[in-house]
Amino acid sequence: MKIAPQTKTNAARLLDTLGITYELRAYEVDPEDLTAISVARKIGLPAEQVFKTLLAHTNTGEQLFAVIPGNAELDLKKLAHAASAKKAELASLKEVEPLTGYIRGGVTVMGARKPFPAYADETIELFDIISVSAGLRGLQLLLSPADYLRASEATLADLTKAARTGEHG
């Protein structure tokens, strides 16, 4: 499915109302491979600059978003800590659309059905430009991390599992 670049999503409309500059970048969707790594390859960005949005909930039943690099894995203990909760778990796929209004591969914090608290991995600030879903499979928003944080009202936190040991650049 090819998305017309002029498609305006709720997320893009929110950015418009906030006066935030962004680029919409369409890509070919493979329903068998909705990974952020695949999206990164298709839009020509490194996977660590393409952030995926995951829906989770705490032991108290609070829903929240975790926004992490496409090549990283969410550390649920770190997310729980950031949200001042004892425990966090990923929401099941069947919960995602009813709670957010978005389908898997198209989840974004901005313009979601309900304004759940959002936590963005602190590495988001390492880049000039990041990419997040525009709220539709096949369409990404490219914008500055500062603008994303302002629009999503996300809290910065360390959210990912330590991948490899070695140098950090």
The predicted-structure confidence for 61-85, as pLDDT tens digits, reads as follows 999 999 999 999 999 999 999 999 9
Q: Give the burial class of 130: count Cβ atoms within 10 A of its Cβ; 0-12 exposed, 13-18 middle, 19 or more buried.
A: buried
Within-domain flag for 168: no
pLDDT tens digits, one per residue of 14-73 = 999 999 999 999 999 998 898 999 999 999 999 999 999 999 999 999 999 999 999 999
95's tokens: 């919960």
CATH number of 83's domain = 3.90.960.10
Whether 4 is in a domain gets the answer: no
165 within a domain of the structure (yes/no):
no
| Range among 42-46, 102-106, 158-162 with highest mean pLDDT value | 42-46
- Say yes or no to pLDDT of 5 above 80: no
Neighbours of 103 (CB within 10 A): 14
Q: Identify whether the C-beta of residue 155 lies closer than 8 Å to the C-beta of residue 66.
A: no
Q: Is residue 56 part of a domain?
A: yes
Task: Let me know if residue 74 belongs to a domain.
Answer: yes
Q: Where are the beta strands (DSSP E) in the chain?
A: 23-26, 51-58, 63-69, 88-90, 118-121, 130-136, 139-143, 155-157
Q: Please check the confidence at residue 95 and state whether its pLDDT lies above 80.
A: yes
User: What is the Cα–Cα distance from 64 to 55, expressed in whole angstroms?
Assistant: 6
Residue in the block written with tokens 């959210």: 159
* Residue 94 covered by a domain: yes
Average per-residue pLDDT for the chain: 91
Q: Are 119 and 154 in contact (CB under 8 A)?
A: yes
Which residues constitute the domain of residue 132?
A: 10-157
| Mean pLDDT of the region 125-139 | 96
Tell me how many domains the chain contains.
1
In a domain, 3, yes or no: no
Residue 142 in any domain: the answer is: yes
